[in-house]
Each structure stands twice: as structure tokens, then as C-alpha cells.
A = this chain, B = another copy of it.
């Protein structure tokens, strides 16, 4: 059996009927599609969160899957609707960086701007391309339509732009990318930043946020954490996370997406 598998990653939430409408549009084009929800709880308009989560997930899908991503604050504006064809999948969504990290991981072969109206819904709203453009296009791709016939090849695409931390010896000014459902705070700090700051496993640090300062440790695994004391560790997508064993680090630190924090090596002023 040839599996026509389409995954969905959006910020629509599950209260409103938007996910249902998108699926209806997809099934209208491709009645035998199998749809898998990755998540619809990406924080609204948080393209970085969507892009990182998509990149952490696509490798578990079989080859030939089609991944639709819709976190699309620029819908109706000049941002292009695109298909990214990789060595093992196709990605459909806005050209705002959302699909880039996942596609780069798999090896990008071609990028197409979606232009052909015959592969969209008859009426295309200005506010909901997930339903009116991306879902029907994904359905046609699942039906075997060549991505080349859906638009024109383009030579560039928007990378996932993640703000860089400011790093010096023993000190980092970082930013929260998102908070996961366990309250783990995913930051924009990468392994190389830790090295540049001279932070090593088992180092003691202070985390400063707007209103408080908290002691923490650099650890390699979650289970090495002391109860009640936050840890910094490298998450699966290569970003440093702040976690609290059997607790909620984001609540403790009152941190949410976009906010700043400072990590200081103990002893540094």
C-alpha cells in the first residue's frame, strides 16, 4: 500500500474550527490521505518554535511524507507560499523560515513558489492560506502531482532566523525561544555559545531574569538535577534548555517566549 501521509504543524489551537476546515480542504482533494497532527499548539505567530519543533519531528515520519506547516503571521502579505523538496520529504507552507530548519536537515533539492491557482481552493481568502492554498496543494502532491507543475522553481528561501545570544567569557545574554508543556525554557543558546562562554558540565551559574536571580547548574542529563534547583542542559535540537526536575522552570523564573535572561558563571560579577 502506498501511504499518502500528510503531517500538520500549526498555531491554530483546537478550540476554533480552523484545523477541521484545513483537513476538510485536504480530504476534498485527496480522499485517501492519512493525516497526522504534529501539534496545533505552537504559540501563536512563534515561527521559531514551529520551526524547531518541526525539525525535531520529521525524522520519525516515513520517507515520502508531506509536511504542512502553518505559523503564518505574514499571510496575505508579500511572503511567498512555497514547496521545499528534500531528499526524503516535501514541505508546504509559508516562506518565513518555518520549514527551513527541517528541510535543511534532510537536504534541500528544490524550492518552488506556489503560483498555480488550479491547485488551490477556488476561493482563496486573504487570511487563511492553510486551508485555501497549503492543504489543497499538499493533497495534490499526495496524489502524485509533480511539485514543478504547482509553481516555479526559486533559488532562495528564508532561513529560520533565531536571535543570537550575546556571549562573553562567563556571561551570556540569552532569549527564550519557547516554553514546552513541561515548563522547560528553550533558549537561543547553542553548544558553541556554551563553549565560547567557557561553561562546562557541573559548573555553577546564576540565572538572572527581570525580577530575580536563581542559582543553577550546568548538567548533561535531566536526571542529574537536584530537586528544586534549575539546570541548563542541551536539548535534542541543539538549544540549551532550562529545566526543573519534577517542576516547572518557566513558572519559577516567570519566563515566556521572547523574554531575556542572563547566565553568569559563579564568581563572575
Tell me the A residues contacting B by CB distance below 8 Å. Answer: 1, 3, 5, 7, 9, 13-17, 19-21, 23-25, 27-28, 31-32, 34, 36-41, 44, 53, 56-57, 60-62, 65, 127, 131, 180-182, 222
What is the CB-to-nearest-CB distance from A2 to chain B, in angstroms, rounded to a whole number? 8
**Extra inter-chain contacts (18) besides given A5-B27, A60-B131, CB under 8 Å:** A7-B20, A14-B14, A14-B39, A15-B39, A16-B53, A16-B181, A16-B182, A19-B37, A20-B37, A20-B39, A21-B60, A23-B36, A24-B36, A24-B57, A24-B61, A24-B62, A24-B65, A31-B62
The closest CB in chain B to the CB of A77 belongs to B223
Contact A27 B31 (CB under 8 A): no
List B contacts of A127 (CB < 8 A): 222
The closest CB in chain B to the CB of A38 belongs to B20
* Residue from B16, B24, B61, B181 within 8 A of A15 (CB atoms): B181
Task: Give complex CA distance A56, B16 in Å.
Answer: 11
Task: Give complex CA distance A31, B21 in Å.
Answer: 23
What is the CB-to-nearest-CB distance from A43 to chain B, in angstroms, rounded to a whole number? 9
List B contacts of A19 (CB < 8 A): 37, 39
Chosen A-B contacts, 11 in total, with CB atoms closer than 8 Å, are A3-B32, A9-B17, A9-B20, A14-B37, A16-B39, A17-B38, A19-B39, A24-B57, A27-B62, A31-B34, A44-B182
List B contacts of A27 (CB < 8 A): 3, 5, 34, 36, 61-62
Given A20-B38, A36-B20, A61:B14 Cβ within 8 A: no
**Among A38, A60, A61: residue with most chain B CB under 10 A:** A60
* Residue from B3, B24, B180 within 8 A of A60 (CB atoms): B24
Contact B181 A57 (CB under 8 A): no
Given A57-B20, A57-B21, A14:B40 Cβ within 8 A: yes
List B contacts of A25 (CB < 8 A): 60
The closest CB in chain B to the CB of A5 belongs to B27
What is the CB-to-nearest-CB distance from A8 to chain B, in angstroms, rounded to a whole number? 9
Given A1-B32, A31-B3, A39:B17 Cβ within 8 A: yes
